[in-house]
Structure 1
């Protein structure tokens, strides 16, 4: 397991090293390097205005606490660093990409106001040489999804807690939501699938993408449970992302702020005589118009709303429902037409709530604390004139304790709060070993054609194996390219073998698309290494995204080898195309 975790971190490290080693365009803003930020829906770069909104909203959540001494773990291209460091007395940034650190050092030497920045090349769990009890803020933004396990996350958080001074905060941003894992993959695969793909093929592809998810997703309640592990954590804020744009960044991700205090007498001030009256959006059949009227005519300064349906994820939830019970259509194209013909999506966009509150003189505090599978959220409205005035409380959530009672939160094993990003590596390592073992013990006609790795066997109510609930063996083969064509050349055959070993797919044809039969960006790093070793070429990672179909990649390699008919390695031309991460 330790070796797999190390390989996992190394794979991500190589991927980002390759990405950040590519030079920026001459007219590009070096402080706004968004290479690699591509849409899961389209595979294309997320538009710069959308990314700028994402950056500015994140920076605002960090700066609201007026940090002076900041440690950022995984600073990447510096999207936050360049906008926060200039307000700080001291700013430390770490990253495991050496190319990133070198780029940031060059920029910091030329941009005014960044003289306080200190950069370190290291992995997120390495706190050697980082002073303890010094920083008032630790920032870990859009990083934890690249951790190999919950244990690695806990180890990193322990180091972050030790680095903080009394009363410090940890901002963990851009976290992918585990309860929304299936809706995310269902709607993304529906968007990206070919129009003539069958419903059954789409269903198989969704199930496979869920099972092979290579990033770490976290249940929001994990952060509430952290108070049991780290008693220094006194308050937890779990918020949906801000932003007008509707994409995977606002739909399926959230931010968490952990408030620490080592002085037991110092805690958030809550007036015990003030209570938050609660309404339920669904049960009380509320609307934004009614809500505005209630706020404008309230005599008390607080109001809580439970179970607000999240408009951002309604389409994804509808698609997820169709995964089990699709409408009577045959193809993905027809299913997309049905989705487009659906009535206006119900629910409330969280951004509308924040804007409404400002309009009527309130501050809206939204919480995703419950981690519901329908993406619903709770709200506490606090009138502006009742905001805390003392230094410790003024940046904190005024009624955190009213969102939940700690004694009502059930504590589970840590592994229950996340998925297992190493499951794909387990399949990759284990299935070939099982197949080889069986081939040694059984005649060829008895060797299974496909293998499916399950966390547990599905059982009936009587405790027997539910055979009907078992997935079809080797589901990946069910959505291979139409019109299977076996490899025809030595290069195609060698590539097919490499793909088969990496993806755990027995039957690879020349028309198959790497990303449609289980491949993803993380696994692409291993694919590049295998190809480099096999063909003695210095292949750029971007070429996998440029030539995802096996015959096209084989043709590229064939042309390259012919053109560079030499015993020496010849590096390919610098590739400045963006990578889908």
Structure 2
């Protein structure tokens, strides 16, 4: 009978029971207490905490406990070992075999086995001589207490026990998995939920599905060409510097209005033109990945020394090229290159546009052609995977000049994925809670576009020496479009050479409190700039967030849910980010920046500085504020809905077959989880 199968009360052992030997795994005081409880009717019982490796005939040492002397040990973290068998000598040593107060257990004596069969290299590594006596290096980490007792602290390697006692070396399993040709990276761990039957779990990164990524991009290209062909058929008269045809709302599937699109492009261009590379009359060299119909290009190209555009659709590129000629931009040349192109040395023209998917932009350029600004606006949602975005940012960083910018705009926020799915479901006016709940789940499950969390860019800039700062901003504007509600901009700045030394600036901070108002806040920040106002409830998405966070278990009707959401908003004062900025940026005296909250996406932060503060200093200040905020949150969570990858059963079968020829059956994976990449931040 197992101890776990006994009744909670009464003795498991007979009254005259004398000794209980516990071995094979670490003995915790809590488990020892359970054993003593099961032997409550055996007052003279002795519990022996047996320690010894298989290589040392199992029984090398032990600790002796009774009902009487267990009391002082019950509050400790570990049960000690205080006796060594007569034929055994046990010491704590370092890597070179010298005695240490904390190190690896070294077992010597006649108890030792002759060695491992047919494993000469392992024998040489594990069986060593010390002071003329043969010994075995255990790999168990421990220490010797002043009283002479030993404590087992863990392992010096990745060896652990699974499935009732089989010893496995996780590093060896990881090496065997990595030897499979389609595995790019892996991490092996043990399922710790059930200590009595632990299993091996592998987190596997398979080789980049570059062919699949290319196919996905090709599918988007075909779709865009189809939409463009349909638009050209039915619409001929259009302002080609403001060609927003094809832009539809996810809420009602209707075309977004001209007024809302004008606000969207105006706020985008305003944020770009505010960058340092345009100040003091500078004319930057610009690369735009996904230049589209030229809504950004036509507004910014006159301010540029050179403007290079890349896009998927040849017809759109032709349209931009022809319209550039009609505008008589003598300094502008728009060209189409389908595969590979290098800047001619004698070419001094300002603008070029190329037909190219984003993952091929490095084939269109050479590293001799670096840019002050690389723009990728409202394009990343069509990337096939998170790894694709990672690779593009990594490659783009090589093309940015020191002190230049990588502007990733109109990014869909992964942290607001459920809120967006809720907004789309609410737009269909569901009549029941069940219908609403099912619609939210369906919207999330069928999501095809790429979403990414703002904190990815913050952590990337923190750990990548090529970047000086990264700041993630809410979109500007008052329109209730999905762009303003659920998207953000990431502005990353390349490190300057030589790196500028900026004196430390004290940043005064305050959290938004219930019933706060902008009038009261203004009186607080004015004498204490720079000032960071944290955790402001975002009025744009407050109601949607409330619904998305509700249990939706049928305890409320739809009208009751809406009434509760309204009451919640009235209780906690909300603020529209655009209105906050307009009120705080008084007469150009102050500069207010609307930043994403990296810990609570339904909130936002505002940094207020003196308008005369150098922009590089403002960016570093904002970056520091966001880094501090994100460091308190979990860094191991997913950054994107396309960070994990579905792997075919055939690939998993081949991996299992590969391992079955290399490791014992009891080691074969209990579970494997596939990832597109493993995010490493430090």
Scaled to the shorter chain, the TM-score interval is 0.5 to 0.7
The separation in 2 between residues aligned to 1:307 and 1:407, in whole angstroms, is 13
Residues 395 and 89 of structure 1: CA distance in aligned 2, closer, same or farther (over 3 Å): farther
Indicate the structure (1 or 2) with the bigger Cα radius of gyration: 2
1:155 to 391, 405, 418: 391
Report the 3-state secondary structure (helix = DSSP H, G, I; strand = E; otherwise coil) of the residue aligned with 2:241. Answer: coil
- Cα RMSD, aligned residues only: 3.1
Matching residue of 1:131 = 366
The aligned counterpart of 1:82 is 298
Correspondent of 2:628 among 394, 402, 405: 405
- 8 Å CA contact 1:219–1:418 kept in 2: the answer is yes
**Aligned equivalent of 2:520:** 290
* Match of residue 264 from structure 2: 54
Flag structure 1 segments of 5+ consecutive residues without an equivalent. Answer: 435-453, 457-581
Cα 1:89/1:250, change in 2 over 3 Å: same
Q: Is the 8 A contact 1:190 1:336 kept in 2?
A: no
Q: CA 1:91/1:80 → structure 2, altered by over 3 Å: closer, same or farther?
A: same
The answer to whether the 8 Å contact 1:69/1:91 transfers is yes
Distance 1:302 1:334, change over 3 A: closer
CA distance in 2, matches of 1:406, 1:230: 18
| CA distance in 2 between partners of 1:175 and 1:108 (Å) | 28
Q: Which has the higher contact order (CA 8 A, sep 6+)?
A: 1
Q: 1:394 to 1:87 in 2, by over 3 A?
A: farther
CA distance in 2, matches of 1:147, 1:228: 24
Distance 1:348 1:327 in 2: 30
530, 534, 550: which one pairs with 1:302?
530
**Alignment TM-score, normalising by the size of structure 2:** 0.56
How many angstroms apart in 2 are the aligned matches of 1:63 and 1:205?
A: 40
Give the corresponding residue for 1:266.
Answer: 499
Partner of residue 438 from structure 2, selected from 188, 192, 204: 204
Q: Answer yes or no: is the 8 Å Cα contact 2:288–2:375 preserved in 1.
A: yes
- In 2: Cα distance, 1:405 partner to 1:319 partner: 30
Query: Is 1:97 the equivalent of 2:329?
Result: no
Q: Out of 237, 241, 249, which is 1:39 matched to?
A: 249
Q: In the alignment, is the contact (CA less than 8 A) between 2:609 and 2:618 conserved in 1? A: no
Distance 1:409 1:163, change over 3 A: farther
SS across alignment from 1:254: strand
- The SS at the match of 2:638 is helix
1:380 paired with 2:607, answer yes
Between the aligned partners of 2:553 and 2:265, the Cα distance in structure 1 is 38
Distance 1:262 1:118, change over 3 A: same
**Matching residue of 2:545:** 317
Tell me the secondary structure at the aligned position of residue 255 of structure 1.
strand
Matches within 5 A, 1:135-534: 135-193=371-429, 195-196=430-431, 198-227=432-461, 230-261=464-495, 263=497, 265-267=498-500, 270-272=502-504, 274-282=505-513, 286-296=516-526, 298=527, 300-322=528-550, 324-325=552-553, 328-329=556-557, 344=570, 346-359=573-586, 361-373=589-601, 375-385=602-612, 387-388=613-614, 393=616, 396=619, 398-405=621-628, 408=631, 412=635, 416-420=638-642
1:11 is aligned to 2:219: yes
- Give TM-score scaled by structure 1 length: 0.66
SS at match of 1:154: helix
The structure with more helix, counted as a fraction of residues: 1
Where do 4+ consecutive residues of structure 1 move more than 4 Å?
332-345, 394-399, 409-413
Q: Distance in 2 between matches of 1:201 and 1:280?
A: 37
Distance in 2 (alpha carbons) for counterparts of 1:158 and 1:399: 22
Gaps of 5+ in 2: 1-208, 334-349, 654-671, 675-682
**1:25 is the counterpart of 2:235:** yes
